[in-house]
């Protein structure tokens, strides 16, 4: 079955029912890509009608939403079945999905159901001569690999997109048509959430953060992590850490950046007391600006920092926090 020229975005909602930021980025991106094909942007929202209304302001002409409560107990199976069923009814050319654990779970299930190809971890998408080319960092970021769907136009292509690839663009006057959809009959059960635990202080959205201040073993002790938090407060950023710090129990695994942690791409990454070993580097090397503070001038981190500050972090960070606060007020 040939596809049409429409491009869709799949949108996750948070626990208050609001669309997630990455989803809105994808909605705007879908509309832009669709325009290049002469098609229309669409969206599938797993969440309530209110979320679909918001999504309609970001460039989608048609918004499908699935508000079925079954998508909350089993977060994967019912939603993936609903999205797959919409794809097989409407045959969009490409579907953009969020590069999050849940987005990937859905993508895999949809591909398995419908036999569709996947481009994962996309950081760029261009259209030329009626074909989409996606770019993905591979081999720990040592290479940038471009690929295409061999089946483009014949079957829907699933593109998993990283945060920050596109900008969410709101147009309040936009009129989208909203349509509620049901969970179809053929659901393969995914996983059941038996308990949702809220952690004090919350969890950082590292993948989507614009500014990240990361602390390493060089901080010296767990209580000195407050330096990192205060600097993050001053710069309006999120806090992250190396594995060394996670292993010592100074901070939970959710904050770990690197090969076996999260991959991040903020506009600013400040590495405080971090050596910059390759396993850490691969999780943050595509950040916009990198600033490193380390007392060892031979530390590997200085090999890929825009600004390298050689010195004792305990001496530099407190006046830096003061200086930034002063300039923000002034």
* 233 is a site residue for another protein (CB under 8 A): no
Q: How far is the CB of 262 from ligand FAD (least distance, A)?
A: 8
* 259 is a site residue for ligand FAD (CB under 6 A): yes
Q: How far is the CB of 95 from another protein (least distance, A)?
A: 14
x/- string (CB under 6 A) for ligand FAD, residues 236-255?
------xxxx----------
- Residue 22 interface partner, choices another protein, ligand FAD, none, CB cut-off 5-8 Å depending on type: none
x/- string (CB under 8 A) for another protein, residues 249-288?
----xx-x--xxx-----xx---------xx--x---x--
d(CA 321, CA 150): 52
Q: Which residues of 67-86 are buried (b: 16+ CB within 10 A; e: fewer)?
A: beebbbebbbbbbbbbbbbb
Which residue in 45, 86, 227, 290 binds another protein (CB under 8 A)? 290
176: tokens are 């989208």
- Find the binding residues for ligand FAD in span 288-307 (CB under 6 A): 293-296, 299
- Find the binding residues for another protein in span 138-157 (CB under 8 A): 138-151, 155, 157
Cβ proximity to another protein, 2 vs 143, nearer residue: 143
Q: Which residues of 268-291 are buried (b: 16+ CB within 10 A; e: fewer)?
A: bbbbbbbbbbeebbbbbbbbeebb
* 228 is a site residue for ligand FAD (CB under 6 A): no
- Residue 32 interface partner, choices ligand FAD, another protein, none, CB cut-off 5-8 Å depending on type: none
* 313 is a site residue for ligand FAD (CB under 6 A): yes
Q: How far is the CB of 51 from another protein (least distance, A)?
A: 15
* 72 is a site residue for another protein (CB under 8 A): no
d(CA 309, CA 292): 6
d(CA 330, CA 325): 9
Going 181 to 185 to 187 to 192, the CA torsion angle's sign is positive
* 123 is a site residue for another protein (CB under 8 A): no
d(CA 79, CA 72): 9
From the list 22-30, 50-58, 212-220, 301-309, the region that binds another protein by CB under 8 A is 301-309
Neighbour-count burial of 172, counting CB atoms closer than 10 A to its CB (0-12 exposed, 13-18 middle, 19+ buried): exposed
Helix (H) or strand (E) holding 177: strand 177-180
């Amino acid at each position: 079955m040939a596809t049409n020229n429409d491009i869709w975005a799949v949108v996750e909602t948070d626990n208050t029912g609001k669309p997630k930021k990455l989803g809105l980025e994808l909605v705007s991106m879908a509309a832009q890509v669709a325009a290049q094909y002469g098609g229309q942007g669409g969206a599938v929202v797993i969440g309530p009608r209110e979320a679909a209304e918001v999504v309609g302001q970001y460039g989608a002409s048609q918004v499908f939403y699935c508000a079925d409560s079954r998508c909350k107990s089993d977060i994967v199976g019912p939603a993936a079945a609903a999205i797959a069923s919409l794809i097989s009814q409407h045959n969009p050319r490409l579907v953009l999905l969020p590069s999050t654990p849940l987005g990937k779970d859905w993508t895999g299930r949809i591909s398995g159901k419908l036999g569709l190809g996947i481009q994962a971890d996309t950081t760029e998408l261009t259209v030329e001569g009626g074909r989409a080319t996606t770019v993905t960092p591979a081999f720990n970021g040592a290479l940038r690999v471009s690929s295409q769907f061999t089946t483009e136009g014949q079957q829907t292509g699933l593109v998993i997109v990283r945060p920050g690839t596109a900008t969410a663009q709101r147009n309040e006057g936009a009129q989208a048509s909203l349509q509620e959809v049901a969970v179809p009959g053929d659901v393969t059960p995914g996983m059941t959430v038996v308990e949702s635990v809220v952690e004090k202080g919350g969890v950082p959205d590292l993948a989507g953060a614009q500014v990240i201040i990361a602390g390493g073993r060089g901080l010296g002790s767990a209580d000195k992590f407050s330096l990192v938090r205060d600097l993050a407060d001053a710069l309006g950023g999120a806090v992250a850490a190396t594995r060394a710090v996670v292993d010592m129990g100074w901070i939970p695994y959710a904050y770990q950046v690197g090969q076996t942690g999260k991959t991040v791409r903020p506009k600013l990454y400040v590495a405080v007391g971090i050596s910059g070993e390759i396993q850490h580097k691969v999780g943050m090397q595509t950040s916009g600006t990198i600033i490193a503070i380390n007392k060892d001038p031979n530390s590997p981190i200085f090999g890929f920092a825009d600004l390298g500050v050689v010195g004792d972090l305990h001496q530099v960070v407190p006046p830096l926090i003061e200086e930034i606060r002063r300039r923000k007020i002034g």
